[in-house]
Amino acid sequence: MKIFKLFLILFLLSGCDVTVDEQPPMIVFVTGDEEYRSEESMPMLAHLLHHRHGFDVKVVYAITDNIIDPNRTDNIEGLEILADADMMVLYTRFRNLPDDQLQYILDFAESGKPMAGFRTSTHAFQYGEEHPNHYLDFEWPQNVFGLPWISHHGSANSTEVSIAENREGHPILRGIEPFHARSWLYHSDTLLDSAQPLLTGRAVEGTEPDGDYFGEPHVVAWTHRYRGEHGESRIFFTTLGHPYDFFDENMRRLSVQGMFWALGMENSIPDQGLNVDFTMEYDPNPAGFGRQFKQGLKPLPTIRHIFGLYVEIIPSVIGTYQKFGIPLLDEYGYSLELEDGLLKESSMSQVETLELSNF
């Protein structure tokens, strides 16, 4: 019966007379850190980019037995979708992926397409001195993102963030004001001279904004251009990224507008900044190691914009696009309403059945 339905769907798709809209950019978020809850913050940003701004999105995760497992350092499933992506967002920490998975990330980095990185992607990989991939531990993030891992000021502290000198007019910073971040400050002493600072941070004693400053300031967000084998990539990077940072709209706006800039879409950023209001509930677990992450979460299917329609890609039917009517399930378990074949709104209701549409 499933095979019959699949052929019926493909038949209906092939005979549909639909208008082909301009394909929106496809952004793939690569997560896998065992400390800062990238498995929660990146899906939130992806959901926002999809529902507020119309991007195609996909989030891939560290997985064990089909369960999201940030502690699993040698497996991120679904990286092959990077071959079709327009942008990669990397938020990983000390991964030691097998070469077949790793190659998708390395190929994308050399493609000339835009990239963004968060916090621990300064130390995205850890293979060790005796491993042939050891260059990925320090040399790769220094060259690609502009900075490798150095050190930080300790988890009992936080960061006061301000606009870097003479950078007020940068399009990424439209609508962004100085703010307090729960992230403790990372050192940026070896930031490449070619990188363009956007935001500067001062270490604050304690987790609240009224603590005393200590230590030297460091750059916490910047742009960079990486010359890969097949072209030059625009890079946005920030060493912020604690899960609680994203409660502040300045952090969400920085993240989203950094991606717009990397994609060459800075002219679409209004003077007041983009709308970055939440489009889903965001209640992340605290930062921390061990079993601190939410247990039992499973990745869900991806929504892409194909032939002017939002369609679901069923993981078990690789490469097959299926068109459905209301209700439609997005990759976060939200139901979507369609109007004339396009996204109308989302709701919190979960749906289990999908039905064919007659658009």
Amino acid at 54: G
What is the pLDDT at residue 277?
A: 97
Q: What is the pLDDT of residue 271?
A: 96
Residue 212 dihedral angles phi and psi, to the nearest 5° = -80, 145
Q: Is 224 helix (H, G, I), strand (E, B) or coil?
A: strand
> Lowest-pLDDT range, 10-19, 165-174, 337-346?
10-19
Number of H helices, E strands in the chain: 5, 17
Q: What phi and psi, each to the nearest 5 degrees, are found at residue 240?
A: -80, 170
The pLDDT tens digits for 310-321 are: 444 433 222 222
When pLDDT is cut at 50, 70 and 90, the band that residue 128 belongs to is: very high
Q: What is the pLDDT of residue 169?
A: 92
What are the Cα distances from residue 62, in Å, to 71, 77, 111? 8, 7, 24
CA dist., res. 279 & res. 142, Å (int)? 34
- Arithmetic mean of pLDDT, 200-204: 96
Whether the upstream peptide bond of residue 327 has omega within 30° of 0, thus cis, is: yes
Which pLDDT does position 301 carry in this prediction?
55
pLDDT in tens, 257-288: 999 999 999 999 999 999 999 999 999 988 88
Provide mean pLDDT across the span 205-228. Answer: 94
Q: Which of 61, 175, 71, 74 is nearest to 126 (CA)?
A: 74
33/130 Cα distance (integer angstroms): 23
User: Considering Cα of 167, then 171, then 177, then 178, what sign does the dihedral take?
Assistant: negative
CB-based burial, 133-162: b 16+ in 10 Å, e otherwise: beebbbebbbbbbbbbbbebbeeebbbbbe
Residues 6+ apart with CB under 8 A from 328: 303, 310, 312, 335, 336, 337, 338, 351, 354
- According to the model, what pLDDT value does residue 348 have? 28
pTM of the complete model: 0.80
Could you give the CA distance from residue 76 to residue 98 in angstroms, rounded to a whole number?
A: 9
Q: What is the dihedral of CA 162, 167, 172, 176, to 10 degrees?
A: 40
pLDDT tens-digit map of 317-359: 222 223 333 334 444 444 444 444 443 433 323 322 222 222 1
Please choose, from the candidates 104, 80, 93, the residue with its C-alpha nearest in 3D space to the C-alpha of residue 39: 93
Per-residue pLDDT at 184: 86
The DSSP code for 70 is T
Nearest Cα to Cα of residue 276 among 304, 257, 302: 257
Is pLDDT of 244 > 90? yes
What domains can be seen in the chain, in order of their start residue?
Answer: 2-20+319-347 (no CATH), 26-268 (3.40.50.880)
- Say which residue, 154 or 147, is predicted with more confidence: 147
pLDDT the model gives residue 337: 43
Q: For residue 152, what pLDDT is reported? A: 74
d(C-alpha 50, C-alpha 352), whole Å? 21
122: closest CA among 55, 48, 219?
219
- What DSSP string describes 232-295? EEEEEEES---GGGGGSHHHHHHHHHHHHHHTT-GGGS-TT------SS---PPPS-STT-SPT
What pLDDT does 302 receive? Answer: 57
At 20-65, the pLDDT tens digits run 247 899 999 999 998 889 999 999 999 999 999 999 999 999 999 9
- CA end-to-end distance (rounded Å), the chain: 23
Please provide the average confidence, as pLDDT, over all residues in the chain. Answer: 81
